[in-house]
Every structure is written in C-alpha cells, then in structure tokens.
Amino acid sequence: MDKRVVVVPKIRGFICTTAHPVGCAAHVDEQIAHVRQRHWTAGARTALVVGASTGYGLASRIVATFGLGADSLGVFLERPAKGDRTASAGWYNSIALERRARELGRQVWSINGDAFSQAVKMDTVALLKARFAPVDVVVYSLAAPQRIHPLTGEVFRSVLKPIGANFSSKTLQTDRNVVCDVALEPATEQEIAATVAVMGGEDWLLWMEALAAAGVLARGVKTVAYSYVGPRLTWPIYRDGTIGMAKKDLDGTVPRIDALLRPLGGKAYVAVNKAVVTQASSAIPVVPLYIALLFKVMKERGTHETCIGQMERLFAEKLPDGVVDGDGRLRLDGAELDQGVQDEVLRRWQLVTTENLWELADPDGYGKDFLRLFGFGLPGIDPLEAVETDLPLQRWDGTVWQ
Ligand code: NAI
C-alpha cells in the first residue's frame, strides 16, 4: 500500500515512537561503508545473530555479512508499519541490510518473532537446514524487557534497579537536557531473579542446545554474547545491580556452552563492550549522563568509538584468536576504562549541572546518536520529503512478515 508521509521524530522520554525508513537505510549503509574500509582476512560462511535489528546485534550482522562475507540469518522482534504508525527502526534496518546483502548474492533471511520462544528456535533451525551452510558464528545480542519462559509459560519482567540499598545519583533527562537527581529503590529478590531470567544466560544456552541438537553448527563454531562492566560510578545501577546479576549469569553460562560445543571444537565467549547510545542503554537510569560525559572526554582524546567500530574490532581482532582477559572475556572497553579517561569523567561528574552541561559533556552528540538510531539527522536525507513507510520484510517462503 502506498503510504507516503513526512516522518518526524516523536520522542517520549527515552523512547522515539517513529522511525524514518530512508534514514534507517542510510544508517545501515554508513555502517556497511565503515566495515568495507578494512581489509578482511578472517571469513565465515554463515552467521546467526539473535537480536540482529538494532544496536550491537545489527552492527554484528553488518560486520559478519559485509566484513566476513557470511550469509546471515537475523532474529529479532520488530514492528511493521500499521495505520498511521511507521514501522520500528529495526524493521527498516533489516530490510536495508537484506537488500544490500542480496545485491552481493548472499543468502540473507530474517525471523521476526519472540527469540525466547521454542517456536522461533525451531523455525530458525528449519531455515538454517533449508537455506544455509552450517553456522560458524552465533551472536546473542538480545536486550529485552520481558521473557515468557518457554517451558513454564511464566512471564519474567526485567528491572533496572540497585541491589541491597537505595541509590541516589545524578542523571540526565535526555529529551530536555536537564541534569537532575534520581533515587532508586533496591530490587526485591523476585525482581533480581526475573531480571536474570530475562537477561541472563539460560536462553543463550537453550539456543545453543537447540542448534547443536539439530546439527546445524559448523566445526569450530564460535558464539558470543555481550556484556558491560563500566566504571565505579555506574556500578550500583549496573554491575552490582539487577542487570549486573544477569551479566554474571551470562559469564556462568560460558563453561556450559563450551562443554556443549567441545565435540565440535567450538567455543563460547562473553565480549565486554563499550557504552554506546542504543535503545537499550537509553533506558538505564544514570547511564545517559555518564555516556554524555564519556563521549566528550573520549572525543577530545580521539578514542571515541561507535557500535560498528566496536564490532569491527571484535570480529577482526578479538574473536579469531580468542584474545581474552584473565576472566576469559573478550574486552572491547579498554579505551573507555582507561584511567585517564575515567579520572576526567569522574572529575566532571562531580561538577556537572544543567547550566554547564554543554561545557563538560556532549549532550548534542548523545542526542544526535539517539535520533540516528531511528533514522533521523543522517546526511543527504531531506526531512521534509514524504517517504513510503509501509515497506515489506520478505519471508523465505515468498510471503512477507506481518
Ligand atoms: P538494542 O535495544 O539496540 O537491541 C536489542 C535487540 O534485541 C533488537 O534487535 C531487538 O529486536 C531484539 N529483541 C528484544 N526482545 C526480543 C525478543 N523477545 N525476541 C527477539 N528479539 C528481541 O540493544 P543493545 O544495546 O544493542 O544491546 C544488545 C546487547 O549488548 C545487550 O546484551 C546489552 O546488555 C549489551 N551491551 C550494550 C551496551 C550499550 O551501551 N548499549 C554496552 C555493552 C553491552
């Protein structure tokens, strides 16, 4: 259906409810161009990316497809256009990525559904068997607010809270660029367990078990899930909070997946990534102010990196030889956690207010990155031009995703 409209950002708090289809495609093209600047020696035949439509998962799929030269299957949960609503950014991103990959003759398909469900895992297995060579790389990059347990039907909702004590801190209201205080109550035991159930390692393990049992994994397969450590000032809400417990659970899942993959000579990793602006990170209290300060400091030092730069280094420099830290994790956050950077961020953290925000931090950079996630503010896109919003995402069976 032809539905040309002028698409403008509609921001509510840390959410943007519209997405620009042409802008999202330009954002994907920009990331592809970034990847193509490098001469790639490592390769892969097939990559499976769970959580493939935005943020780190999208960047991973772009690197696997246009850097490693892989065919790729992406799994995600996105929304098509309906009535007056645009589709979600991940929907448009995935259409754009698939189009570019097909221009190169690649097999590239997506599954739009609940990755936590048994049905989506089974559909993925069937599609891999029908259309793809055995999988060399499995990326697990979900960031989800809830999970329906596939065996019990129980609904778990993740929360972003401290554990054990109240936590008060500065934060940034990103839609108004106001620095204010936030007070967070500690999570209950039930909330901690629910967050671990959503964002911990159980589902990653279930994915790997399903793929191994179906015989769709290649010899030497590697799987990687993403984590974050960050500086002390975010630890009460991140590392030592509910999400941190889930990330510890992810670490604890690595040996179990390693055991599963041993007969194939395969290996599981957790990669610790840098803080970047994504739909997931903008929802975490305190973190947006930290990111706005961090970006300013890292840009001043020339060490700033975005999602695609991080994932390029992961696939080119860390994953091939399994370059890990003392805890067995692939580290991409070295420049973020550099002592000089963190001393400066901490110094500015103590001083920052709404009045000096632009002097000490990079709220404009944060805001631009946020809008770009939804396809707004990219060069060469006329924001006043009416564009088609109802774009179809092809299914492998000749129909389209609804
Ligand atoms: P994001 O919000 O950009 O992407 C989340 C992805 O999960 C999307 O593809 C979405 O469609 C998919 N998804 C959510 N629920 C789903 C469901 N039920 N079924 C299928 N797909 C579903 O998030 P981001 O930030 O890229 O996060 C990915 C991972 O990277 C997370 O584990 C996060 O903790 C980690 N990470 C993020 C950092 C950051 O600064 N953003 C830093 C370090 C790690």
User: Which one of 27, 276, 278, 290 would you pick to mutate in the ligand 1 pocket, going by the greatest count of ligand atoms within 8 A of its CB?
Assistant: 278
Burial class (CB in 10 A: 0-12, 13-18, 19+), 113: middle
**Cα end-to-end distance, the chain, whole Å:** 13
Which is the catalytic residue, given 238, 269, 290, 366?
238
* Model confidence at 291: pLDDT above 70: yes
Among 207, 200, 225, 217, CA closest to 330? 225
* Model confidence at 36: pLDDT above 60: yes
Separation of CA 146 and ligand 1 centre (Å) = 12
- The rounded mean pLDDT for the chain is 96
Tell me if residue 56 is catalytic: no
* Model confidence at 63: pLDDT above 90: yes
Minimum mean pLDDT among 116-120, 268-272, 355-359, 396-400: which range? 396-400
* Model confidence at 259: pLDDT above 70: yes
Q: Is residue 65 helix, strand or coil?
A: helix
Separation of CA 352 and ligand 1 centre (Å) = 29
Cα 135 vs. chain centroid, distance in angstroms?
20
User: What is the structure's pLDDT at 13?
Assistant: 86
Separation of CA 238 and ligand 1 centre (Å) = 15
Q: Which residue did the predictor score with more confidence, 13 or 297?
A: 297
pLDDT per position as a tens digit, 141-152: 999 999 999 999
In a 13 Å sphere around the CA of 135, the CA atoms on its Cβ side amount to: 31
Rounded Cα distance between 171 and 324, Å, is 33
Nearest residue (by CA) to ligand 1, atom 23, is 280
User: What is the structure's pLDDT at 42?
Assistant: 73
Task: Using a pLDDT cut of 90, give the percent of the chain over it.
Answer: 96
User: What is the structure's pLDDT at 1?
Assistant: 57
Mean pLDDT of 329-355: 98
Residue 56 in tokens:
């780190």
- Atom index in ligand 1 nearest the CA of residue 287 equals 40
Rounded Cα distance between 255 and 111, Å, is 28
User: What is the structure's pLDDT at 99?
Assistant: 98
User: What is the structure's pLDDT at 168?
Assistant: 95
Cα angle for residues 175, 198, 120 (degrees, 5° grid): 105
Residue 241 amino acid letter: G
Rounded Cα distance between 273 and 11, Å, is 27
Separation of CA 114 and ligand 1 centre (Å) = 13
Mean pLDDT of 154-165: 97
Separation of CA 385 and ligand 1 centre (Å) = 31
- Atom index in ligand 1 nearest the CA of residue 275 equals 40
pLDDT per position as a tens digit, 299-329: 999 999 999 999 999 999 999 999 999 999 9
Q: Is residue 320 helix, strand or coil?
A: coil
Look at the chain and count its residues.
402
Please check whether residue 138 is in contact with residue 48, taking contact to mean a CB–CB distance below 8 angstroms: yes
Residue reference for tokens 């954002």: 27
Q: Which residue did the predictor score with more confidence, 13 or 154?
A: 154
- Atom index in ligand 1 nearest the CA of residue 142 equals 7
Residue 172 in tokens:
């940034």
- Atom index in ligand 1 nearest the CA of residue 247 equals 34
Separation of CA 55 and ligand 1 centre (Å) = 6
User: Which one of 50, 56, 174, 295 would you pick to mutate in the ligand 1 pocket, going by the greatest count of ligand atoms within 8 A of its CB?
Assistant: 56
CB-based pocket (< 6 A), ligand 1: 51-57, 75-78, 90, 114-116, 141-144, 226-228, 273, 275-276, 278-281
Rounded Cα distance between 401 and 127, Å, is 15
- Atom index in ligand 1 nearest the CA of residue 281 equals 41
Rounded Cα distance between 331 and 378, Å, is 30
Task: Count the neighbouring beta carbons within 10 Å of the beta carbon of residue 3.
Answer: 14
For the chain, which residues make up each domain, given as ranges? 10-154+190-278+303-332+371-388
Nearest residue (by CA) to ligand 1, atom 3, is 55
Helix axes 242-261, 189-199, angle to 10 degrees: 40
Separation of CA 145 and ligand 1 centre (Å) = 10
Phi, psi of 37 (to 5 degrees): -70, -20
Nearest residue (by CA) to ligand 1, atom 8, is 51
Nearest residue (by CA) to ligand 1, atom 18, is 114
Rounded Cα distance between 91 and 267, Å, is 31
Cα 104 vs. chain centroid, distance in angstroms?
25
Nearest residue (by CA) to ligand 1, atom 2, is 280
Mean pLDDT of 148-167: 97
Going 251 to 253 to 255 to 258, the CA torsion angle's sign is negative
What CATH number should be reported for the domain whose range is 10-154+190-278+303-332+371-388? 3.40.50.720
